[in-house]
Amino acid sequence: MEYNFDLGPLFNNLKKLEVKRVGLVLPEGLKIYADYISSELKKRGYEVIVSGNFNYGACDVPDLDFDDVCDCLVNFGHSPLPVESNIPMLFVEVDFAFPYMEALKNNIDLIKKKGKRVGLVSTVNYVKELSNVKEYLESEGFEVLIGKGNKRVAYAGQVLGCDFASASSISDKVDFFIFVGEGRFHPLGVAISTEKQVFAFDCDGIYSLNDYKDKILKERFGAIFRSKDSKKFGLIVSVKKGQKRMALAKILKRKIEDAGFIADIILMDEVAPDKLYGFDYDSFVVCACPRIGIDDAKRYKKPLLTPKELEIVLEGKEEYIMDEIDQSDF
């Protein structure tokens, strides 16, 4: 995979801030560039500290770890979220490049069988490609829509792992979606939240999320079923600022207690299986990143529920709703 990013705007913004000490925050795929970025900053007289922790997105603001050693943080690979930081935080968006257009053209006859109205979505790393895809699809006779999200997303058509508003805002106007990008979780979220067919790309071409969606939903309803007899619930809240859904956890705690069960809020810096082994709760509810309950559930011995899944357990609701973060959760 090819990564494209421009450090010029970063240097200009750092100059405006009049800072001297810079903290670098990079996701795993970009840590290989840490020495290069650091070298470029040091050439311009900056002191550099590189974060060695995992970074899960713009929601993960490690300002308390850096505020005594850095004047600002620079987050690579993400777009800004409305999350406060104790020290200035800059964002450097990184564009990923892969041959999606070739796969799209090779499968255009298959896609035409699914309808004429298509919605386009992407993550920030590919969102700039949406206009090219739109132009091509329109030349093939499609009606193409790109939805607008809320203030948590920076671009039209952009989806986050915790926010699919750009898709749901147009779901009633399209026959299906195309996710421009790689990875399964984001298009899975679009498929569940909109209940529309979603096509995505991988190294072999283009594929439908239908089978994968069905597989994941079976797993999720399995976890819900295993939680039906739970009497004690641990509500996990992350200390990460963009994931710290404490207000939501308190609401869920009251609901559990009103139902006659035990509930405690567990505050954690990073949600991991080994940190929960010692607890005697029957089930856990993740009031943090929605991906944890979907991507990592098999790593946990006890059922790991999302807030929406807890409502199914407590209230007997049948409809499955994808967990998304709302500002009222904090």
pLDDT for residue 317: 86
Element (H, E) at 293: helix 290-295
Question: Which pair of tokens denotes residue 134?
Answer: 């739109």
Shared domain check, 200 and 267:
no
pLDDT tens-digit map of 258-301: 999 999 999 999 999 999 999 999 999 999 999 998 988 889 99
pLDDT of 250 higher than 70: yes
Question: Which pair of tokens denotes residue 181?
Answer: 């990008």
Q: What are phi and psi of 69, to 5 degrees?
A: -125, -10
Q: Would you say residue 216 lies in a domain?
A: no
Q: What is the pTM of this model?
A: 0.94
Shared domain check, 59 and 154:
no
pLDDT of 98 higher than 80: no
**Orientation of helix 185-194 relative to helix 210-226, angle to 10°:** 80
Q: Would you say residue 214 lies in a domain?
A: no
Shared domain check, 256 and 192:
no
Q: Percentage of residues in the chain with pLDDT exceeding 90?
A: 90
If we measure between CA atoms, which residue out of 202, 224, 221 comes closest to residue 213? 221
Name the strands in the sheet holding 283-287, side by side, starting at the edge strand that comes first in the sequence: 262-268, 232-238, 283-287, 304-305
Shared domain check, 259 and 243:
yes
Question: Which pair of tokens denotes residue 167?
Answer: 């898709």
Per-residue pLDDT band for 179 (boundaries 50, 70, 90) equals very high
pLDDT for residue 1: 63
Domain boundary among 157, 175, 208: 208
Residues 30, 33: Cα–Cα separation, whole Å: 6
Full residue range of the structural domain in which residue 234 is found: 221-329
Residues 105, 99: Cα–Cα separation, whole Å: 11
pLDDT of 54 higher than 70: yes
Q: Does 124 or 203 have the greater pLDDT score?
A: 124
Determine the 3-state secondary structure of 35 from DSSP.
helix
Other Cβ atoms closer than 10 A to 209: 22
* Domain CATH code at residue 250: 3.40.50.11860
**What is the DSSP secondary-structure string of 202-233?**
ETTEEEESHHHHHHHHHHHHHHHHHTTT--EE
Per-residue pLDDT band for 99 (boundaries 50, 70, 90) equals confident
Q: Would you say residue 213 lies in a domain?
A: no
Q: Would you say residue 307 lies in a domain?
A: yes
Q: What is the mean pLDDT of residues 222-238?
A: 97
pLDDT of 205 higher than 90: no
Give the total number of structural domains in the chain.
3
Lowest mean pLDDT among 19-23, 148-152, 172-176: 148-152
Determine the 3-state secondary structure of 105 from DSSP.
helix
Shared domain check, 123 and 90:
no
Domain boundary among 208, 240, 275: 208
Question: Which pair of tokens denotes residue 34?
Answer: 């840490």
Q: Would you say residue 184 lies in a domain?
A: yes
Question: Which pair of tokens denotes residue 328?
Answer: 């009222």
